[in-house]
Amino acid sequence: MKHITYDEQERTKSKVKKKKISKRYFNLYKNIGAREVRYYLHKAENYKGIDLRVIAEIKKRKLVSKKLLTLSDKEIEILNKFGEGANFVINCIIYQEEEGIHEGY
């Protein structure tokens, strides 16, 4: 059995790259499951714009649900595209799907 020194252990630890786990809370006006939140998050990838009526309606609604998701690299990219407004965009997409409004896709 080979004896490994402390320095060798430290070097091997630094070579192993740890994947950072990214989690995020989503505040929603409707209580839906995590799978549905992911669905709407991926719909946001191709989202063009928001109708003013939808913005007004979402602003009136109270946020009643809070969901925690562990995000994939692709989902992190989508969220970075919208910045701090990502939560609002997802609520708008949920509302548009409910009402059958397909503007912005």
* CATH annotation of 21-99: 3.30.70.3260
Q: What does the domain layout of the chain look like in residue ranges?
A: 21-99
Residues 46-90 have pLDDT tens digits of 888 888 999 999 999 999 999 999 999 999 999 999 988 999 999
Residue 19 has pLDDT above 70, yes or no: no
Beta strands 65-71 and 22-28, pairing class: antiparallel
| Percent of the chain scoring above 70 in pLDDT | 77
93: left (phi over 0), alpha (psi -120 to 50) or beta: alpha
Return d(Cα 76, Cα 2) in angstroms, integer. 43
Are 89 and 96 a contacting pair, CB within 8 Å? no
Rounded to an integer, what distance in angstroms lies between the CA atom of residue 43 and that of residue 10?
44
Q: For residue 32, what pLDDT is reported?
A: 95
